[in-house]
Structure 1
């Protein structure tokens, strides 16, 4: 059985895959497992998906395990 066939079976049963890449972090659908400093994304944006999540008829089966963008910390020069 291929992944495409499996996802087709899931779809017929009302199971949908959560693909949060690039979306704002939602604690109802996502589980944050890492904070990643990146200047390419706004803080609180999903920048990495470690494990896909799934819903069945709009109820959460498994949250997506994600890495979330952290605000980039600016270094302060304290030398005089």
Structure 2
């Protein structure tokens, strides 16, 4: 997770520490206003989930880039295991 934090902060991301499904995690809001990254701790390191919103392809209001990401990741984690 330290490596992930270092990588994200070197890119200018704002980091928010959190817990998802009982695991250490962080939400990184990158300098690109359409990009959100969620890093989640595993036994072997971390998993990096990235979402990019292409606002020019959306009719109507653009959602906040990290909106719903923790719910999405929480739904995927049981299928990943803890390796």
TM-score (normalizing by structure 2): 0.28
Larger relative contact order, structure 1 or 2 (CA cutoff 8 Å, min sep 6): 1
> Which structure features the higher share of helix residues?
2
TM-score (normalizing by structure 1): 0.29
